Amino acid sequence: MSERAEVFRVAHGKSGEAELRMHLYLPAGEVRTPRPAVVFFFGGGWTGGTAEHFAPQARHLASLGMVTACADYRVASRHGTTPFDAVRDAKEAIRWMRANATRLGVDPDKIVAAGGSAGGHLAACTAMIAGFEDAVPVEGGERQAISSAPNALVLFNPVLDTTGKGFGRDKVTPARETEISPCHHVHAGLPPTLVMHGEADTVAPFENAERFARDMRAAGNRVHLVAYPKKQHGFFNRRENADGVVDDADFLATLRETEMFLRDLGYL
């Protein structure tokens, strides 16, 4: 497996651009046929966080033959941006992966958007939310002509409701509370979706994940909700106690669920 970082560009300000990094994890061996890919989005309430958040998951899936990436996006603490800007960046990250599919040996029809918490929200938005498509000129035309929609979703305790029933209403403002709220944009034709959520989550309430799954099924979409009793927000991360002992049981459990879901889709 090889690792490297590349740059993708997003519109920033009235006439400028921002450069963001895509951290790539490429499987070893010769590319004989295009491979599925997954793009991970980190959590942090659209305020902080780093792209390396999902590096362990990305490395593991790359070892199984997928092209994986951890995408950067603009956050409030570093760029003075809002969740709406982050949605634009997430869409551009998926578009970038598809635009570079041939060069990276990726199947453009097998791209997964994945993420946790606010990153799970962004992954869901790439599939569900219309608009927020800031075209950035590239050689040979505009990248906006290339779809930013993923072919599958893997969501770790995602923010699915940005109203008062969920998380982030203060960040999106009450006047726009449903504009990028996945629970309010479920419709037919969405990609297969895996949601892994702790039942004791007080940040992104589990009841929102249940409602999302019900609405997805009612719309005829494929969705698998895995409930983790007594688990709180961020349960899927590796944890280390004061003595340096690592607890990775939930990390491994969610990784197994992810593997099974991707194998069932024929992506592994």
Instruction: Parse the chain into domains and list their residue ranges.
Output: 2-265
Lowest mean pLDDT among 6-20, 75-89, 185-199, 217-231: 6-20
Both tokens assigned to 38: 């997954």
pLDDT at 138: 52
pLDDT band with cut points at 50, 70 and 90 for residue 144: low
pLDDT at 30: 76
pLDDT at 10: 72
pLDDT at 261 over 60: yes
- Report the share of the chain in percent with pLDDT over 70: 93
pLDDT at 110: 99
pLDDT at 40 over 60: yes
pLDDT band with cut points at 50, 70 and 90 for residue 136: low
pLDDT at 107 over 80: yes
Top-level CATH class of 2-265?
A: alpha beta
Backbone angles phi, psi at 232, to 5 degrees: -100, -175
pLDDT in tens, 188-247: 999 999 999 999 999 999 999 999 999 999 999 999 999 999 999 999 998 877 677 778
| Most confidently modeled range among 24-33, 140-149, 259-268 | 259-268
pLDDT at 11: 63
| pTM summary value | 0.93
pLDDT band with cut points at 50, 70 and 90 for residue 258: very high
Distance CA 213, CA 220 (A): 11
